[in-house]
Structure 1
Amino acid sequence: MEEDPVNVDSQLKTCVVLGGRGFIGRSLVSRLLRLGSWTVRVADSAQTLHLDEYDSVLEDAISSGRASYHYVDVRDKPQIVEVTEGSDVVFYMGAADLRSHDYFDCYKVIVQGARNVISACRESGVRKLIYNSTADVVFDGSQPICDGDESLSRPLKFPSMLTDFKVQAEGLIKFANNRDGLLTCALRSSIVFGPGDTEFVPFLVNLAKSGYAKFIIGSGENMSDFTYSENVSHAHICAAEALDSHMEFVAGKEFFITNLKPVRFWDFVSHIVEGLEYPRPSIKLPVRLVSFVFSLLKWIQEQEGLGSNYDTAHQFALLASSTRTFNCNAAKKHLGYTPVVTLEVSLILMLQWFSRDLEKSDDTIIQSTADQLLGCGKVADILLWRNEKKTFVSFLFLNLLYYWFFFSGNTFASSAAQLLFLFAVALYGVAFMPSKIFGFQVKKIPPWRFEISESAVRDLSRDIVVVWNHGVRGFKSLSKGGDWIKFFKIAGSLYLLKLILTRSLAAFLFTGISFSFTAFFIYEQYELELYHLGRIFMECLTVVKNMVVKNLPFPATSAKPMFL
């Protein structure tokens, strides 16, 4: 006999996922709905719910009434009370996508938001509150963590204010346990990754696109624990059940959550970067050098009054250069937690998701600055080594011309005459050669190869006229006076040309050939690195200039003239 659907629905437990549209929140909502024993209220800060192709489970659940969406701002307690009324469990995922440099806003969302959630749960009669914390709350980068457990004490100082706020929020959740019947616990997951990740993997992708993913910070031997998002979701559900069955060991406690398989941090990063078809990290940088650069950048921004937006990069540098592994025995014993997806399978699923996502976003090919400077044509292909055979032939030909004109001992005119004579003899001789010599095809040069089209002549004439007119306009503006920048540009260029012609034209040409075949290629390979280094250099110059200007004595104000 089939079970009455009404009775089945009445057996469903109701829960609220605060932050249900964030990275881990989405994973938890999906897992709760797939289990089939929950009615889920998805609460988030977006005014309306926008579903995509990955939200099919949630879309079906909303259609059937097993899920609903609610707009909630955690800074507004009445909104939280309204959405949590009548629910048994609240999964508080914390805030995501915060502006890290706006510390006041972050404090209101993270710390004050946690206070509002606790107060609202007590007011609406919620029995269980589970907080999604982070392993960062016991890590400041000063000491390695090897197989750390829940007995680890919190550092006195943290590398970022965001981590400090999360520590405060976790403390509030912990001390709210067993007040007005509310049971709480916190889960500290370590470096969460997975489909839909908005922090760790996108940060690696941006590093790879910027060219910085080729650098290894430190020795590259440090070990780290990583956690797949589905396993974090599973741990939350285990905690909700354990608060009923093992309340005395779970309530008011914190638990570390990982994939239970520590690996070398840079092996893991290399697997992701290579899996997304970027070069794997290979160049090692000293930790002190990286720390100095971040400290300098942070100081520059503080001097400019812009706050600091290098917290994420600084946190990554600490993770990338420190050993950080955790013991999850408490979670296994009291929560009944074991990973539902292994690390190897997690990497495959995550790479498949991000590969599809990158294919959608990388529809157009972006030309490099070097390619644009060289005209995006045959010259660019040769100087940027797109066709190695053509590049080598061109380089060899230019060097032969260089040695012919400057090392033959003849004048320029006689060298040109001899070259034209050899060319004429070769051209005439090729006409009498057979079509094949020892099996090799001899290509004849058709006469039309030496013809110049009328359009090419018109284009050349137009270019000459444009250059001439541009020069005339420049000299006209000089004759008017006042434009010092243009004067220095023209005068400097002419003086440089004078130095080149009077010193050594041969040395200039040799330098120019070598520069053309190396500098553009190197610039294209390290374009973004050079851009960022240049930006750092300019920011340093700006700070120095501002400091000098501030310390200059102010000119004495002249007395105002008196009119009688």
Structure 2
Amino acid sequence: MAQELLKKESILVTGGEMFVGYHIVSYLLTQNPNLTISVLDHPSTVPRFPTVAYYDVDFSSPLAVTTALRSIRPTVIFHAACTYSLALPAPTFHKVNFQETENVLAAAQDIGTVKAFIYHSSTSVTEHGTSSLISATEDLPVLFAPDQEFPYPLCKALAEKLVLDANGQHGILTCSIRPAAAFGEADTETAEKLIQNARAGRANTQIGDGRNVYDFLYVGNLAHAHVLAANALLKGGRGPGGRVDGEAFQITNDEPWLFWDFSRAIAKGVGHEVNKEHIRSIPIWIAWCMAFIAEWWVWVVSRGQGQSALTRFGIRYATKNRTIDISKAKRVLGYRPIWSMNQGLERTLKWYQKE
């Protein structure tokens, strides 16, 4: 339990004022409200916790990050700071998701107090985006250039390799948590965009035949997995069923849904229920062409600096089967989802209705 192993630790959560980091902090405090927690991030609209110390730090500055860590002297780091948007230029992905991870890891190695470093990765590091995944395990090879052509999974793969290669150095044990498509409160990507789509009257539109199966993940379960990993690293790198340090673990809700059923469940939750007879299907090839034109137009108008919100990468993700095997996390970490998909959706929608 977090209150047993983490109560004497100085815990740092990078990105603690954004989606995943915020939920890691929240989950830790529900386990033990007396934990010593610090957050490195930029101020946002999510509520702050009164017992947490917040530091506004430029992650792109190695000196700023190291100075902050020397002040905090963390023993456990949950590195969740990243960008979640898929609609960004490739250099931004590389800067935020790789170079800034490099800065945080280097600072952790420099200060000499850190014992455990948990990296927030992505299941997309093994995906090339052109074919479906069925019960995919961690045995699939992580893809790098030129095999990986998309900037988001590429930079996450590079950052994950950096962290896992550092395992055992400078007294730090490391591991990586690879979530499936996460959703939940304060989610500015999946949930918020689907809510906006529903309110704009587009929830009845789907791409393809709507039969593609998908693994999602409620963010509270993701936070739970992070804490299980931290506990194991503090025990010397061993979980209930084997070695944790130097390893990557896929995490889902272990409850696959049809992708477009999930979209329509969110629409229903905000008062825009879609009847089956009103569903309008767009052929995948037409959507792909629309995305190609949108990408090209934004590239021209922005002189290569912008990225279209509609992308071929996004079309592929929304139309493929994507199921993830989490047997390793179950066996080694002892992971089991705490909240079901329906419970996660209920909590998410309640939060958005309130906020």
Q: Which amino acid aligns with 2:110?
A: E
- The residue number in structure 2 matching 1:285 is 282
- The residue number in structure 1 matching 2:337 is 339
Alignment of 1:254 with 2:239, yes or no, is no
Deviation at 1:99, TM superposition (A): 9.0
- The residue number in structure 2 matching 1:218 is 208
Supply the distance in 2 between the matched residues of 1:316 and 1:160 (Cα, whole angstroms). Answer: 11
Supply the distance in 2 between the matched residues of 1:327 and 1:300 (Cα, whole angstroms). Answer: 38
Q: Is the 8 A contact 1:111 1:168 kept in 2?
A: yes
Q: Is the 8 A contact 1:246 1:334 kept in 2?
A: no
- The residue number in structure 1 matching 2:225 is 235
Q: Is the 8 A contact 1:84 1:90 kept in 2?
A: no
- SS in structure 2 at match of 1:243: helix
Q: Is the 8 A contact 1:276 1:351 kept in 2?
A: yes
Identify which range, 199-208 or 254-263, moves more after superposition. Answer: 199-208
TM-superposition CA deviations, 1:249-278 (whole Å, max 9, x none): 111111101111111111111111111112
Supply the distance in 2 between the matched residues of 1:98 and 1:275 (Cα, whole angstroms). Answer: 23
| CA distance 1:325–1:246, shift in 2 (3 Å) | farther
Deviation at 1:328, TM superposition (A): 0.8
**Pairwise CA RMSD:** 2.3
TM-superposition CA deviations, 1:497-533 (whole Å, max 9, x none): xxxxxxxxxxxxxxxxxxxxxxxxxxxxxxxxxxxxx
Alignment of 1:20 with 2:16, yes or no, is yes
* Corresponding residue to 1:164 among 137, 154, 158: 154
Alignment of 1:103 with 2:90, yes or no, is yes
Alignment of 1:44 with 2:38, yes or no, is no
Q: Which amino acid aligns with 1:112?
A: Q
| CA distance 1:206–1:289, shift in 2 (3 Å) | same
Supply the distance in 2 between the matched residues of 1:44 and 1:225 (Cα, whole angstroms). Answer: 29
Q: Is the 8 A contact 1:259 1:343 kept in 2?
A: yes
- The residue number in structure 1 matching 2:315 is 317
Supply the distance in 2 between the matched residues of 1:99 and 1:251 (Cα, whole angstroms). Answer: 29
Q: Which amino acid aligns with 2:167?
A: N
TM-superposition CA deviations, 1:70-99 (whole Å, max 9, x none): 122221223322333432110000323669
Identify which range, 312-321 or 163-172, moves more after superposition. Answer: 312-321
- The residue number in structure 2 matching 1:33 is 29
Deviation at 1:309, TM superposition (A): 2.1
> Could you say which structure has the greater relative contact order, defined with CA pairs below 8 angstroms and 6 or more residues apart?
2
Q: Is the 8 A contact 2:291 2:310 kept in 1?
A: no
Identify which range, 293-302 or 231-240, moves more after superposition. Answer: 293-302
Q: Which amino acid aligns with 1:278?
A: H
- SS in structure 1 at match of 2:142: coil
Supply the distance in 2 between the matched residues of 1:312 and 1:255 (Cα, whole angstroms). Answer: 30
Deviation at 1:135, TM superposition (A): 1.3
- The residue number in structure 2 matching 1:75 is 60
- SS in structure 2 at match of 1:339: coil
| CA distance 1:118–1:230, shift in 2 (3 Å) | same
Q: Is the 8 A contact 1:147 1:327 kept in 2?
A: yes
More strand by share: 2
Supply the distance in 1 between the matched residues of 2:85 and 2:255 (Cα, whole angstroms). Answer: 30
- The residue number in structure 2 matching 1:112 is 99
| CA distance 1:97–1:238, shift in 2 (3 Å) | closer
Q: Which amino acid aligns with 2:260?
A: W
Q: Provide the TM-score with structure 2 as the length reference.
A: 0.88
Supply the distance in 1 between the matched residues of 2:84 and 2:249 (Cα, whole angstroms). Answer: 24
- SS in structure 1 at match of 2:231: helix
Supply the distance in 1 between the matched residues of 2:175 and 2:260 (Cα, whole angstroms). Answer: 32
- The residue number in structure 2 matching 1:195 is 185
Q: Is the 8 A contact 1:92 1:129 kept in 2?
A: yes
- The residue number in structure 2 matching 1:139 is 127
Deviation at 1:311, TM superposition (A): 5.4
| CA distance 1:26–1:228, shift in 2 (3 Å) | same
Supply the distance in 1 between the matched residues of 2:182 and 2:45 (Cα, whole angstroms). Answer: 24
| CA distance 1:50–1:277, shift in 2 (3 Å) | closer
Deviation at 1:165, TM superposition (A): 1.5
- SS in structure 1 at match of 2:22: helix
Q: Is the 8 A contact 1:242 1:334 kept in 2?
A: no
Q: How many pairs align?
A: 337
Q: Is the 8 A contact 2:83 2:97 kept in 1?
A: no
Deviation at 1:308, TM superposition (A): 4.4
* Runs of 4 or more above 6 Å deviation: none
| CA distance 1:229–1:51, shift in 2 (3 Å) | closer
Percent identical residues: 28
More helix by share: 1
Deviation at 1:133, TM superposition (A): 0.8
Supply the distance in 1 between the matched residues of 2:140 and 2:85 (Cα, whole angstroms). Answer: 27
Deviation at 1:69, TM superposition (A): 0.9
- The residue number in structure 1 matching 2:139 is 151
Q: Is the 8 A contact 1:217 1:287 kept in 2?
A: yes
Supply the distance in 2 between the matched residues of 1:306 and 1:242 (Cα, whole angstroms). Answer: 45
Deviation at 1:158, TM superposition (A): 4.2
Alignment of 1:274 with 2:268, yes or no, is yes
Q: Is the 8 A contact 2:46 2:186 kept in 1?
A: no
Q: Which amino acid aligns with 1:267?
A: D
Deviation at 1:104, TM superposition (A): 2.9
Supply the distance in 2 between the matched residues of 1:150 and 1:350 (Cα, whole angstroms). Answer: 29
Q: Is the 8 A contact 2:86 2:152 kept in 1?
A: no
Supply the distance in 2 between the matched residues of 1:157 and 1:274 (Cα, whole angstroms). Answer: 39
| CA distance 1:284–1:256, shift in 2 (3 Å) | same
Paired residues for 1:356-375 under 5 Å: 356-357=354-355
Structure 2: segments with no counterpart, 5+ residues: none
- The residue number in structure 1 matching 2:167 is 177
Supply the distance in 1 between the matched residues of 2:313 and 2:180 (Cα, whole angstroms). Answer: 13
Supply the distance in 1 between the matched residues of 2:169 and 2:122 (Cα, whole angstroms). Answer: 24
- SS in structure 2 at match of 1:90: strand
Supply the distance in 1 between the matched residues of 2:192 and 2:268 (Cα, whole angstroms). Answer: 14
- SS in structure 2 at match of 1:180: helix
Supply the distance in 2 between the matched residues of 1:127 and 1:142 (Cα, whole angstroms). Answer: 39
Q: Which amino acid aligns with 2:212?
A: N
Supply the distance in 2 between the matched residues of 1:51 and 1:345 (Cα, whole angstroms). Answer: 21
- SS in structure 1 at match of 2:203: helix
Supply the distance in 1 between the matched residues of 2:341 and 2:198 (Cα, whole angstroms). Answer: 22
